[in-house]
Protein backbone atom coordinates (compact mmCIF):
# COMPACT_ATOMS: atom_id res chain seq x y z
CA UNK A 1 0.00 0.00 0.00
CA UNK A 2 1.28 3.48 -0.80
CA UNK A 3 2.60 5.34 2.21
CA UNK A 4 1.61 8.72 0.81
CA UNK A 5 -2.08 7.89 0.44
CA UNK A 6 -4.13 10.73 1.94
CA UNK A 7 -7.27 10.09 3.97
CA UNK A 8 -10.48 9.98 1.97
CA UNK A 9 -12.79 12.96 2.08
CA UNK A 10 -16.22 12.73 3.76
CA UNK A 11 -17.99 12.06 0.46
CA UNK A 12 -15.92 8.90 -0.04
CA UNK A 13 -16.27 7.37 3.42
CA UNK A 14 -17.76 3.95 4.17
CA UNK A 15 -21.12 4.52 5.86
CA UNK A 16 -22.75 1.12 6.34
CA UNK A 17 -21.81 -2.51 6.97
CA UNK A 18 -23.82 -4.65 4.54
CA UNK A 19 -22.83 -8.30 4.90
CA UNK A 20 -20.23 -10.83 5.91
CA UNK A 21 -19.61 -14.03 3.97
CA UNK A 22 -18.63 -17.44 5.29
CA UNK A 23 -17.53 -20.30 3.08
CA UNK A 24 -19.18 -23.65 3.67
CA UNK A 25 -18.57 -27.04 2.08
CA UNK A 26 -22.02 -28.62 2.57
CA UNK A 27 -25.01 -26.29 2.32
CA UNK A 28 -27.55 -28.53 4.06
CA UNK A 29 -25.32 -29.01 7.13
CA UNK A 30 -24.59 -25.30 7.28
CA UNK A 31 -28.27 -24.41 6.94
CA UNK A 32 -29.14 -26.81 9.76
CA UNK A 33 -26.55 -25.15 12.01
CA UNK A 34 -27.52 -21.55 11.24
CA UNK A 35 -31.27 -22.17 11.22
CA UNK A 36 -31.95 -24.96 13.77
CA UNK A 37 -29.03 -24.38 16.14
CA UNK A 38 -28.67 -20.58 15.97
CA UNK A 39 -32.28 -19.80 15.01
CA UNK A 40 -31.60 -17.59 11.97
CA UNK A 41 -34.29 -17.14 9.32
CA UNK A 42 -33.21 -17.46 5.68
CA UNK A 43 -34.06 -14.66 3.28
CA UNK A 44 -34.77 -14.70 -0.44
CA UNK A 45 -31.81 -14.84 -2.82
CA UNK A 46 -31.86 -15.12 -6.60
CA UNK A 47 -28.37 -16.16 -7.63
CA UNK A 48 -27.04 -18.99 -9.77
CA UNK A 49 -24.51 -20.33 -7.24
CA UNK A 50 -25.24 -22.39 -4.13
CA UNK A 51 -25.61 -20.56 -0.84
CA UNK A 52 -27.97 -19.12 1.75
CA UNK A 53 -28.54 -15.58 3.02
CA UNK A 54 -29.71 -14.49 6.50
CA UNK A 55 -30.77 -11.05 7.71
CA UNK A 56 -29.54 -10.20 11.23
CA UNK A 57 -30.63 -6.70 12.17
CA UNK A 58 -29.25 -4.32 9.55
CA UNK A 59 -26.55 -6.77 8.37
CA UNK A 60 -26.74 -9.93 6.28
CA UNK A 61 -24.80 -13.16 6.67
CA UNK A 62 -24.04 -14.90 3.38
CA UNK A 63 -23.08 -18.56 3.19
CA UNK A 64 -21.38 -19.52 -0.06
CA UNK A 65 -20.64 -23.12 -0.99
CA UNK A 66 -17.12 -24.02 -2.04
CA UNK A 67 -15.46 -27.39 -2.67
CA UNK A 68 -13.09 -27.13 0.28
CA UNK A 69 -13.00 -24.84 3.27
CA UNK A 70 -9.51 -24.21 4.59
CA UNK A 71 -9.48 -23.80 8.36
CA UNK A 72 -7.39 -21.03 9.84
CA UNK A 73 -7.83 -21.49 13.59
CA UNK A 74 -4.52 -20.25 14.98
CA UNK A 75 -5.38 -20.56 18.67
CA UNK A 76 -7.20 -23.84 19.41
CA UNK A 77 -7.20 -23.19 23.17
CA UNK A 78 -8.93 -19.78 23.10
CA UNK A 79 -11.54 -19.73 20.37
CA UNK A 80 -12.13 -15.98 20.73
CA UNK A 81 -8.57 -15.28 19.62
CA UNK A 82 -9.36 -16.58 16.14
CA UNK A 83 -11.24 -15.07 13.22
CA UNK A 84 -14.95 -15.09 14.11
CA UNK A 85 -18.29 -13.34 13.74
CA UNK A 86 -20.10 -12.02 16.80
CA UNK A 87 -23.86 -11.89 17.33
CA UNK A 88 -25.87 -10.49 20.25
CA UNK A 89 -28.35 -12.67 22.16
CA UNK A 90 -30.77 -11.79 24.94
CA UNK A 91 -30.39 -14.97 27.01
CA UNK A 92 -26.96 -16.58 26.81
CA UNK A 93 -27.73 -19.34 29.33
CA UNK A 94 -30.77 -20.53 27.36
CA UNK A 95 -28.83 -20.32 24.09
CA UNK A 96 -25.96 -22.35 25.59
CA UNK A 97 -28.36 -25.09 26.74
CA UNK A 98 -30.02 -25.18 23.30
CA UNK A 99 -26.71 -25.34 21.41
CA UNK A 100 -25.42 -28.15 23.63
CA UNK A 101 -28.72 -30.04 23.25
CA UNK A 102 -28.16 -29.83 19.48
CA UNK A 103 -24.85 -31.65 19.98
CA UNK A 104 -22.50 -28.69 19.48
CA UNK A 105 -19.55 -27.89 21.71
CA UNK A 106 -19.22 -24.42 23.16
CA UNK A 107 -16.38 -22.56 24.79
CA UNK A 108 -17.18 -19.79 27.24
CA UNK A 109 -15.28 -16.54 26.82
CA UNK A 110 -11.91 -16.68 28.57
CA UNK A 111 -12.39 -13.07 29.68
CA UNK A 112 -15.28 -14.00 31.96
CA UNK A 113 -17.82 -11.84 30.16
CA UNK A 114 -21.23 -13.19 29.14
CA UNK A 115 -20.17 -14.69 25.82
CA UNK A 116 -19.60 -18.09 24.25
CA UNK A 117 -18.07 -19.45 21.08
CA UNK A 118 -19.40 -22.23 18.87
CA UNK A 119 -18.20 -23.51 15.51
CA UNK A 120 -20.30 -24.39 12.49
CA UNK A 121 -19.73 -27.68 10.59
CA UNK A 122 -16.86 -26.06 8.62
CA UNK A 123 -15.18 -24.71 11.77
CA UNK A 124 -16.26 -21.10 11.20
CA UNK A 125 -16.36 -19.64 14.71
CA UNK A 126 -19.36 -17.71 15.97
CA UNK A 127 -19.40 -15.64 19.15
CA UNK A 128 -22.68 -15.13 20.99
CA UNK A 129 -22.66 -12.29 23.53
CA UNK A 130 -25.47 -11.43 25.89
CA UNK A 131 -26.60 -7.83 25.35
Q: For the segment 75-128, what is each residue's pLDDT rounded down to a tens digit?
A: 999 999 999 999 999 999 999 999 999 999 999 999 999 999 999 999 999 999
Does this model's pTM top 0.85? My answer is yes
Selecting from 3.10.180.10, 3.40.50.620, 3.40.50.1100, 3.50.50.60, what CATH number does the domain 16-130 have? 3.10.180.10
DSSP letters, 59-122, are EEEEEEE-S-PPP--S-SS-GGGSSEEEEEES-HHHHHHHHHHTT--EEE-TT-SSEEEEE-TT
Distance of CA 79 to the CA centre of its chain: 13
Amino acid sequence: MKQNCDALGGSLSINQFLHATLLVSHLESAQHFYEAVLGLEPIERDLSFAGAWYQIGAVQLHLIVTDAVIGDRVNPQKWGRNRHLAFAVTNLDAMKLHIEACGCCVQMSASGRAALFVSDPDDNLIELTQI
